[in-house]
Amino acid sequence: MVSTEFLYDNIPCGYLSFYNDGTIISINRTLLNWLRLEKEEVLYKQKFNNLLSVGSRLYYQMVIMPLLLREGSVNEINFDVLSQNGSFPVLCNAITTKSAGGNTDVINAILIKITDRKKLEAELMTAKKEAEEGKRRFETLCHMIPNIIWTALQDGTINFVNERFYQEFRLRAEKLNNFILLRLFHPLGRDKMIKRWEESLKFNTTFEVEIQIKAAGGAYYWYLIRAVPYKDISGRLTLWFGSCTNINEQKEKQLKTLDRLNDSLTEAGQIIKKQDQQLEEIGYSQSHLVRRPLANILGLVQIMETENLEDIQKIYFPMIKQSAEDLDEMINAIVIKSK
């Protein structure tokens, strides 16, 4: 059967007891191994606060010891403990044992080594600082760009715009929200833009739209708004990166060119219509010129039908009559189509 003393010595955490003045009266083997000391070097020779680093010692004496005497216990206090080859972080839980008179006789403490946890916390803190520094560099760079740059969260909420935006539209940062932003867009293009933005959010596709936005002076100018989804290494969409470019000058030129093109097409249509009328008049007048001799031919054919014809004439006569009738029918069709 395993003895209580063996369990005490080999429990996977440091355990010690000390008087109010810090004199250590009991310590287990686990903590001794961490300190690289023997019991003879510690018991009744070392004080608990002497095991601590300078900063932890001051914290213990000024804050933790008065709290311990008043409350009777403390939990998860972070200390740095000195050893023969440096120091290591621990979490300390302590409770006091009081005498019959109510005075604290002994303090029992457990020390849990948290070297790996501290390393992880340090790595997380470093990563956080790097992320914050990266964000600060990104925002500084965006503020220097002479174009409007913005970002949005996964759900489409705008969470950053650069200084150029505030200069262009004279808005204050504290008043920036999606409702205020929507009021800047021209009513005629607002619904179409919202629909495209919702589709991009739904399908994680690039967003692009040309729309008029009200500038600081109250006038509307044309802008090209673009946004692309940003995905992390796992493929999850985390952010939208967007830009807003003033294209009013190019758009005005494009609209003027379109107006000129429409005018040219209208003029061309009128010319074609006029030419069609002229062709119709020519066709109508020329048809009379063509039909006059044709009418004579048809009249002569009718006269010849009453005469006695020779055999050879009877062969060619129907052919002449049919050709004249076909020609008359074709001229009539041309005249009808020209109308």
CATH 3.50.50.60 for domain 145-246, yes or no, is no
Tokens of 31: 């903590």
pLDDT of 239 reads 94
Q: Which of the pair, 311 or 235, is modelled with greater confidence?
A: 235
Yes or no: say if 21 and 49 are a contact pair by the CB < 8 Å rule.
no
- The domain ranges of the chain are 4-113, 145-246, 265-338
pLDDT digits (tens, 9 = 90+) for 221-277: 999 999 999 998 888 999 999 999 999 888 878 777 777 767 666 766 676 776 666
Beta strands in 19-85 (DSSP E): 24-27, 73-83
> How far, in whole angstroms, is CA 148 from its chain's centroid?
15
pLDDT digits (tens, 9 = 90+) for 12-70: 899 999 998 899 999 999 999 999 999 999 999 999 999 999 999 999 999 999 998 88
Task: Assess whether the region 4-113 and the region 145-246 belong to the same CATH fold.
Answer: yes
C-alpha closest to that of 118 among 58, 148, 78: 78
Rounded CA gap, 149 and 162, in Å? Answer: 6
Give the burial string for 261-294 (b: 16+ CB within 10 Å, else e). Answer: eeeeeeeeeeeeeeeeeeeeeeeeeebeeebeeb
Model confidence at 309: pLDDT above 60: no
Yes or no: say if 42 and 91 are a contact pair by the CB < 8 Å rule.
no
CATH 3.30.450.20 for domain 4-113, yes or no, is yes
pLDDT digits (tens, 9 = 90+) for 94-133: 999 877 666 768 999 999 998 888 888 888 888 888 888 8
Class of 265-338 per CATH?
Answer: mainly alpha
Yes or no: say if 158 and 242 are a contact pair by the CB < 8 Å rule.
no
DSSP line for 178-222: HHHHHHHB-HHHHHHHHHHHHHHHHHT--EEEEEEEE-TTS-EEE
pLDDT of 282 reads 59
